[in-house]
Structure 1
Amino acid sequence: MSTTSEIPFDDFIAALPTERQQPATQVWQLVRQAVPAGYTEHIGPKYLEFRAGAQMYVGLANQKSHLSLHLVPMYLMPALQEQLAAAAPMLKMGKGCVNFNKMEELPLDALAGLIAATPLADYVAKLQVGRGASRKK
């Protein structure tokens, strides 16, 4: 895994509200362990990300009232969202994100499986298909 960093990881975490620092660190460690080979980690002032080239694969952001784990594969492949919703029906989700404040709110095994489910080459192919479909509209 390679990492590019505008700021150190510890500085990103330290800038979060105190009550979000531990959950953010824990969920990002889960992401680091689950992400398939080939994605690159990027640490910026607003997001922690794993990318395929310049495209986000998974990201973590601090929002006004919660942490948000952005899962782009879930947006591209709705079946993944359905699997996650089945694993945790009360989970606060959007089309491609999971919103949380505490680790206890997250189905960790299901999240790790979703993150690990898409090898880099498959993800790049899905992105290209998505771009082609949006251009045809």
Structure 2
Amino acid sequence: MKYEADSPEEYLSQLPEERKEAMEKLRRTIKDNLPPGFQETMSYGMLTYVVPHSLYPPGYHVNPKQPLPFISIASQKNFIALYHLGLYMYPKLLEWFLGEYPKHVQSKLDMGKSCVRFKKIASIPYDLIGELSGKITTDEYIKMYETATDKIKKK
């Protein structure tokens, strides 16, 4: 589901009650653990944590007017989604996450390239997400991003 909102608070206010508490806790977990420099915003109908243009003027290569996205969270129709682009671009981080996930959650991991889906709100591993959120600084992320986009440009 996509919500029309101009701010994270407006987005959260539109959520069904059964999702609101989990999304608020997920938001706090990420914000409390993100390294300095990332900024919370709304992007693509989701709460998104970005590298702002003040730190990375080129912005997102898909749309340079947008800041560089890093993590997004969204309440979808059948699940709560966490999108973490570092998992997609950094194999060592993905390997770490895949190894840690079963230590925190009994159910099988439901994951795409950068999207982790939580169908059961009670199974959201907030501690693990907090640790994941703090693993990459803005400088490290910019370097990974530029390396990844350089590879795309060379194809």
TM-score by length of 1: 0.86
Separation in 1 of the partners of 2:23 and 2:93? 22
Structure in which a larger fraction of residues adopt strand: 1
Instruction: After TM superposition, give the deviation of residue 19 of structure 1 in Å.
Output: 1.3
* Residue in structure 2 matched with residue 3 of structure 1 by the alignment: none
Q: Deviations over 1:19-60 (max 9, x none)?
A: 111111111100000111011110357110110131111111
* Residue in structure 1 matched with residue 47 of structure 2 by the alignment: 48
* Residue in structure 1 matched with residue 79 of structure 2 by the alignment: 66
User: Unaligned 5+ residue runs, structure 1?
Assistant: 1-5
* Residue in structure 1 matched with residue 11 of structure 2 by the alignment: 12
Q: 1:73 to 1:49 in 2, by over 3 A?
A: same
Separation in 2 of the partners of 1:102 and 1:27? 14
* Residue in structure 2 matched with residue 79 of structure 1 by the alignment: 92
Separation in 1 of the partners of 2:101 and 2:145? 27
Instruction: After TM superposition, give the deviation of residue 124 of structure 1 in Å.
Output: 0.6
User: Unaligned 5+ residue runs, structure 2?
Assistant: 53-66, 103-107
Q: 1:45 to 1:58 in 2, by over 3 A?
A: closer
Pick which of 103-112 and 26-35 moved more: 103-112
Other structure's SS at 1:68 match: strand
Separation in 2 of the partners of 1:45 and 1:77? 23
Other structure's SS at 1:50 match: strand
Q: Deviations over 1:56-92 (max 9, x none)?
A: 1111112221111111111111222222222224222
TM-score by length of 2: 0.77
Alpha carbon RMSD of aligned pairs, Å?
Answer: 1.8
Q: Number of residue pairs matched?
A: 132
* Residue in structure 1 matched with residue 117 of structure 2 by the alignment: 99
